[in-house]
Amino acid sequence: MSFDRFYDHQVKTKQASVSCNEPWVGILTAQGQWLLKNKALERELTALANGQYQPDWIELVRDLSNSGQLAQHGTSFCIPSYSSSQSGQRRLWCQLLPFQKKDSRGALVTITEQPLLVNNAADLAAWFAILDAIQDSTLLFDQSGVLLHANTVAMQLVGITSDVDKNNLYISQLFPELQLNDKEHLPQWLAGSDSGFGEGNQWREVTLLNAQNKTQLVMMTMMSLSIQGQQWVMVLLRDNAKQFLSQQKLLNYLYHDPLTGLANRALFQDRLAQGVIRARRRKRKVALLVINLSRFKVINDTLGHAAGDDLLKKVALRLGQAVREEDTIARLGSDEFAIILEDTFDQNDAAVVGQHVVEVLSVPFQLQEKEIFVSASIGISLLTSPSDNHETLLKQADIALNKAKQLGPNHYEFFSKEMKAVSEYRIQLESRLHYALANQEMVLYYQPQIDIHFGCIAGFEALLRWRHPTEGIILPGLFIPLLEETGLILPVSEWLLETACIQHRAWISDGKVPPYTSIAVNLPTRLLLSGSLLSVLDKALHNSQLPPQLLELEITESMLMHDINFAIKELNQVKARGVSISIDDFGTGYSSLSYLKQLPIDTLKIDRMFVEDIPDDQDAASIARAIINLAHNLKLQVIAEGVENEKALGFLQAEGCDICQGYLFAPALPAEQLLEKYEQLTETAYMESTLAPHSVTH
């Protein structure tokens, strides 16, 4: 923009009132960022902003800074203006002095009622008076570090009482910790990476040694000024170190987790975004690990919130031991943490850290004089595609974390494209799942349980299936976790229990099945611990009119570990109603055998993993034999599931197993198909259609 156009535009458009008895002083970068404003300038800029008016002299400063016209000499020009006072129109003078700080350049702006021209170093005296308008302590040093000028505020802070004192001071004397010598070229030092004053308005805490040899903490920033080919350094000081530190504490609170001291989600996202930018520039990778603790809720609920907080703090300390000092550790949520690994070369680097995290968290924690074990599931993503950003990395790590959870505790998994496809499929299923129950897409399949001593049907297990309108039958392994995550498991479980009871009562009433056969239903953890189990159970029994002794609820070992005392209390109430209880998948969980004496259970079910390869797999056979013996010693019944061949059946019969179920007898089928295939499931019909062909003897 030409000066003529500038003047013309100002005369025609500037309507804001201007009062410049106190000069306006500020530092404006070429990018339009104010690094410094005195109160007078700040008031004027606020008034202009409220009026949505952008003064053209700000645009001119940017243009001159970017064009290089301020490089050595600076410039001065008049700003015609209107005033709301009776004095009418006044002229204001704008003086620009170039400044350079790191990679940032711009102008030191002063606006006064009288022209102020600084053409050489001798003319600086007039300009020095302007510095007194700056509320911050302002000192100007030459390139050798000799103090040229200090404004009034700075003289008081530094303890300068005369020009003699002022002219004999070096920056190295006032700030010994900067480790400057008298021969140091100050502007060059400031431009270097070791100065500690970064790009922009970078403040740091330093110790000031004043003229009376007393020390004081101050906040300090520095920038280079270029006037008439000479280089100076301007230093701004703030003696409100306590206030600044309070602000820093506030920022620390805003960006750090108050419990662990780790970065919070806001700071984590910022550092991850910056890490991605640096990784691209350095042609390196950045890795993200998202960590989820197992059993935290159980520990928190059982031992109390104080123990839970103590555990989280100890986890944070251990994570710090597993990574480098420059890596970022963050707490993202209740029991979720994240680690940002910059300067990563390949997947192996991240794998080493992932394994180390698993190992350090596997060591037991001491809480309330107890040894507590936790484990971790870790999802890892790496920056590999130019189109990836920090949000993509986080989504990918979350997807990998879900996969790691499926594999069980103490696993880490890297994100892959295949995982993304599975994750998107799960999201589609989850969306549809909300309507599945209302649309009657949930169905029950039934699998017979055979008493292998008497060769008759002992009962049935009701198994949940999802009849998806486009995908067909979906097995529970895919959608049960989604039901748990969404909370839909409670209404679905209530429907399942009541539907199974009604169906079994109808079969008995219609003479389709023997009247002594039972119906087994899997009990989800969430229903057991919800506090509503007994009311749901009572409702199902009442609406179906099924005798309680014909209903069996199946629980798993892992369910008991969430809150064993509450579980025992609830199960005792179930037992008091006459309902039987079995432990499903026995041998695959982590429960203590001592709990078997406290639990009101009737049956142990041997998991299919110990059944499918017997008797050829000697280890599996030994475990199956031990479970049968344990159950009978405790006067419990034993059911083996997953029986698919005659050899397995023969082994189980020989070892004294009571009941079997599996494909050898019948797959799980919908109610109508089960009756169609086997007609009326009388004892004789079933004996002839299943056991007789296999020549089973007891």
Given the candidates 3.30.565.10, 3.30.450.20, 3.10.310.10, 3.30.499.10, the CATH classification of the domain at 136-255 is 3.30.450.20
Q: Per residue in 194-238, pLDDT tens?
A: 666 754 456 788 899 988 888 888 888 887 776 556 677 888 888
Cβ pair 433, 483 in contact under 8 A:
yes
* Alpha helix positions (H), 590-643: 595-598, 618-633
| pLDDT of 130 strictly over 80 | no
If phi > 0 it is left, if psi is from -120 to 50 it is alpha, else beta; for residue 8 that is alpha
Average pLDDT over residues 525-532: 87
d(CA 320, CA 326): 10
- Give the contacts of 689 (CB within 8 A, at least 6 positions apart): 678
pLDDT at 685 over 90: no
Residue 466 bridge partners (DSSP):
442, 474
Q: What are the extents of the domains in the chain?
A: 1-119, 136-255, 258-415, 429-586+655-694
* Residue 135, SS3 per DSSP: coil
Does residue 425 surpass a pLDDT of 80? no
Judge whether residue 306 has pLDDT over 60: yes
DSSP state letters, 471-537 = TEEE-HHHHHHHHHHHTTHHHHHHHHHHHHHHHHHHHHHTTSS-TT-EEEEEPPHHHHHSS-HHHHH
Identity of the amino acid at 465: R
Q: Given this chain, do its domains 1-119 and 136-255 carry the same CATH topology? A: yes
**pLDDT given for residue 329 in this prediction:** 94
Mean pLDDT of 598-616: 90
Cross-strand pairs, 1: none
Answer for the pair 690, 667: CB distance below 8 angstroms, yes or no: no
Average pLDDT score over the chain: 79
Indicate whether 672 pLDDT > 70.
Answer: yes
Tell which wins on pLDDT, 331 or 238: 331
pLDDT confidence of residue 547: 97
Q: How far apart are CA 650 and CA 616, in angstroms?
A: 12
| CA–CA dist 90, 697 (Å, integer) | 116
Per-residue confidence (pLDDT) for residue 514, from 0 to 100: 87
Region at 445 (left for phi over 0; alpha for psi -120 to 50; beta for the rest): beta
Mean of pLDDT values over 502-506: 96
Asked whether residue 683 carries a pLDDT value surpassing 90, the answer given is no
Are 372 and 289 in contact by the 8 Å Cβ rule? The answer is no
The mean per-residue pLDDT over the stretch 136-145 comes to 84
Of 157 and 253, more confident: 157
pLDDT at 655: 93
Weakest mean pLDDT among 167-181, 510-524, 589-603: 589-603
* Cis upstream peptide for 615 (omega within 30°): yes
- Whole-angstrom distance between the N-terminal and C-terminal Cα of the chain? 104
Q: What is the pLDDT of residues 622-649, one digit of tens each?
A: 999 999 999 999 899 999 999 999 999 9
pLDDT digits over 70-96, tens only? Answer: 554 456 665 554 343 333 445 566 777
pLDDT at position 246: 66
Q: What contacts 516, CB < 8 A, 6 or more positions away?
A: 550
| Contact by Cβ (8 Å): 433, 461 | no
- pLDDT score of 416: 80
Q: Does domain 1-119 have CATH number 3.30.450?
A: yes
Higher pLDDT, 10 or 310: 310
Question: Three-state SS for 239?
Answer: coil
429-586+655-694 classified as CATH 3.30.70.1290: no
Average pLDDT of the residues in 43-63: 60
Query: Residue 22: is its pLDDT beyond 80?
Result: no
Q: What is the pLDDT of residue 455?
A: 83
The answer, yes or no, to whether residue 503 has pLDDT greater than 60, is yes
CA-CA-CA-CA torsion sign (465, 468, 471, 477): negative
Give every CB contact of residue 241 below 8 A, 6+ residues apart in sequence: 205, 216, 217, 218, 219
- Higher per-residue pLDDT: 596 or 214: 214
Q: What is the pLDDT of residue 541?
A: 97
The yes-or-no verdict on residue 588 having pLDDT over 90 is no
Helix axes 305-322, 347-362, angle to 10 degrees: 140
Q: Report the distance separating Cα 126 and Cα 114, nearest Å.
A: 11
Burial 442-457, CB ≥16 within 10 A → b, else e:
bebbbbbbbbbeebbb
**For residue 271, what is the DSSP state?**
H
DSSP H or E segment with residue 559: helix 557-560
Question: Which CATH code for domain 258-415?
Answer: 3.30.70.270
Task: Return the pLDDT at 43.
Answer: 75
Q: pLDDT class for 273, splitting at 50, 70, 90? A: confident
In this predicted structure, what is the pLDDT of residue 372? 86
pLDDT at res. 77: 61
**pLDDT beyond 90 at 501:** yes
Tokens, residue 128: 């020095």
Average the pLDDT over 148-168 and give the result.
78
Between these two residues, 428 and 90, which has the higher pLDDT value?
428
What span, in angstroms and rounded, lies between the C-alpha atoms of 542 and 548?
Answer: 10
More confident residue, 161 or 247: 161
Provide the token pair at 307: 């123990």
Strand partners, 380: 289, 414
